[in-house]
With several copies, the nearest count.
Chain A
Amino acid sequence: MKIHEYQAKNLLKSYSIPIPKGTIVKNKKDAISIWEDMKGIPLVVKAQIHSGGRGKAGGVKIVNTKEELVDYVSTLIGTVLYTEQTGKDGMPVECVLVEEALKFKKELYLGFTIDRARACITMLVSSEGGVEIEKIASQSPEKVMIEHIEPLLGLRDFQITRALLLTNIDSKYLRKLSSISKSLYRLFIEKDCSLAEINPLVITEDDEIVAVDAKINFDDNALFRHPEILSLRDYTQENHLEVEAAKYNLNYIKLKGNVGCMVNGAGLAMATMDLIKLVGAEPANFLDVGDGATSQMVKEGFKILLLDKDVKVIFINIFGGILRCDTLARGIVEAAYELQVELPIVIRLEGTNVEEGKRILTESGLSLITAKDMGEAALKVAGALGLTS
């Protein structure tokens, strides 16, 4: 789960990590009010969307006058930003963060993430903050210090000291940086993060260390024990079809193609997408109805696919294991009737009770296109789209 920059900063603050003075602004009135509060010092306005690259997209600006502030805030709120990461749909700006524009001497990077191969939390520190850590890591790997954290030990002072000394950060900042590192680590653990990064973490002209931007992602599997985090979820930043799907426990991700696909199981769903691509078409989505899909879930999956105006063909690929194909076929038939689906539907059913399942589909009177295996199904999908492959 992702949260906004301002929410991440509030979390940092609750862990005693310094952040710039500022507040969230949702309208003109808020903007005027913060201008008065901050007594005319230069402010920075930052659009709050779940995406990086906001600066290039025009979502970040330093303002020096009240008019500038109010104008810019008015322009931003309610608009949609298109960054490198958002894709063609962009992301709506519902609120902006207005805070003091700090003057700083140096930008650092500090982040925690999980190293899957070593099965541990990893601290990354760089003396070159302000750009993406992946970029620093690929361009000047010697400037990124990596500390693997032993689960038995947790983050240790010697690791912090080592990482900071090796990045050539003046040792007079060691104590403050060490305290921030430990706090961020504690936040990572206590809130079940999958990523917690401060970038840039700046050294101001007054030698203070302040988190100027932050990105915190959470482990979806652990949200059950963090209602306080779950409450930070902003559905405006997610695709509405995905939000809808999630309500029914369906794993759905919107993509840019026109073949709507519904599959049971994540691996088979990805393989199905890949197969669609192989025959020259493009998947419109990833949709995993689960290994143990019920006919109800199949119906809801159908609805989601139909809500997507890009979809021209529907491809259902089910491998019934424990789930019986006849149960499933009944679900499909029922949903197709009820929803009055007019798009061509290619179905491939395999597994337990497949014969009975196929009989149900044939006898339904629906104009379903059936296939004996995944390969044939994909070709029929291409055919339905008028592609010659």
Chain B
Amino acid sequence: MSILVDKNTRVLVQGITGNEGAFHTRQMIEYGTNIVAGVTPGKGGGFFEGIPIFNTVSEAKKRMEIDATAIFVPPPFAADAILEAVESGIKIIVCLTEGIPTLDMLTVFHYVKSKDAVLIGPNTPGIISPGKCKIGVMAGYIHKEGSIGIISRSGTLTYEVVYQLSIRGIGQSTCIGIGGDPIVGLKYVDLLKMFEKDDDTELVVIIGEIGGTAEEEAAYYYKKNKKKPVVAFIAGVTAPSGRRMGHAGAIITGGKGDATTKIKTLEEAGITVVKNPAEIWQAVMDAKYKKY
């Protein structure tokens, strides 16, 4: 099993004929993702790699069965693309775009919620249920089917952790990048709840970083509802205050969102926090074989 996406997930790609969209659509197909349609306004009626292209999401939705969408649309138009997907009735939205204005995302966030859809990202590498479905830009081959759930705010750091695990034979159920922006859709706490319910996930890895309080929210939830072991790493112990560390959301402001506070809150909730990013695999193994 896995959460959110699996072998049966039928995927739309918004912006399928753009550079990024086209490249990653090919990669996703190669991985085995079931891409059923694409959208590029003005190119409706055409095909990309044999996949029908529509002018609008609502047209695609009317003609095809669609469960999820991957959005590869430039920042000025990406919020609109998410709204279009939600309005058309798509329930799982993965927005890969980096650089969407924060105020646009405030509206998007509330609209997505009001329509009972879920949004992964923006500014995310996407979601992958290894061996089943990949909606995103991560390299598929570093993943391995298994029982570890991973929730992260970053890209390559997640690949690093996944790789540490995979080469030691520890596979993953589902890996999700929640996105590096200040306002994202699903957060740690939402996904932790899903993993808690997923029979095939036995342990969850949380890869956090400075900025915001999403890690703390997960800790508060976990403190009261812990069922499965959770291992965490928080990046940015050495990050200075008030500076945006690459990700728009990775910033300590007004004394809030520093790594030390996050680590403390997670540990108080009974979560194992690893200090050395090179040793996350070790902590996972310890927790996995110590059992709960």
**Does chain A touch chain B in the assembled complex, meaning CB atoms less than 8 Å apart?**
yes
**Which residues in A have some Cβ–Cβ distance to B below 8 Å?**
85, 113-114, 116-117, 119-121, 133-134, 150-153, 156-158, 161-162, 165-166, 171, 174, 189, 192, 194, 219-222, 224-225, 251, 253, 255, 263-278, 282-283, 286, 288, 291, 319-322, 350-352, 373-376, 378
Residues of A within 8 A of B211 (CB): 116
Residues of B within 8 Å of A, CB-based: how many? 81
Q: In the complex, which of the residues B27, B80, B109, B277 has the most CB atoms of chain A within 10 Å of its own CB atom?
A: B277
**How far apart are A135's CB and chain B's nearest CB, in angstroms?**
10
- Residues in A with CB closer than 8 Å to B182 are 114, 116
The reply to whether B246 and A251 form a contact with Cβ atoms under 8 Å apart is yes
B209 near A152: Cβ-Cβ < 8 Å = no
In the complex, A118 Cα to B275 Cα: how many Å? 29
- Complex Cα–Cα for A133 and B247 (A): 25
Within 8 A of A (CB), among B17-59: 27, 41-42, 44, 55-58
Q: Which residues of A contact B279 (CB under 8 A)?
A: 375
Chain A residues contacting B233 (CB-CB under 8 Å) are 271
Contacts of A352 in B (CB 8 A): 139, 141
Report the nearest A residue to B54, measured CB to CB: A165
Docked complex Cα distance between A123 and B18 (Å) = 30
B residues lining the A interface (CB < 8 Å): 27, 41-42, 44, 55-58, 75-77, 80-81, 83-84, 87, 99-107, 109-111, 114, 125, 137-139, 141-142, 152-160, 163, 180-183, 207, 209-214, 217, 233, 235-240, 242-250, 254-255, 259, 275-279
B99 & A221 in contact (Cβ 8 Å cutoff): yes
Give the nearest-CB partner of B23 in chain A. A322
Q: How far is the CA of A311 from the CA of B76 in the complex (A)?
A: 38
Query: Which one, A158, A189, A273, A283, contacts B84 given CB within 8 A?
Result: A158
Q: Are A221 and B101 in contact (CB under 8 A)?
A: yes
Question: Chain B's nearest CB lies how many Å from the CB of A42?
Answer: 33
Chain A residue at minimum C-beta to C-beta distance from B102: A219
**Are the CB atoms of B55 and A270 closer together than 8 Å?**
no
A291/B125 contact (C-beta < 8 A), A222-B101, A255-B240 known: yes
Residues on A with C-beta less than 8 A from B217 are 117
Residues of chain A contacted by B275 (CB below 8 angstroms): 274, 278
Contact pick for B239, options A113, A270, A351, CB 8 Å: A270
Q: Across the interface, do A152 and B183 meet the contact criterion of CB distance under 8 Å?
A: no
User: Inside 8 A of B142's CB, which chain A residues have their CB?
Assistant: 321, 351
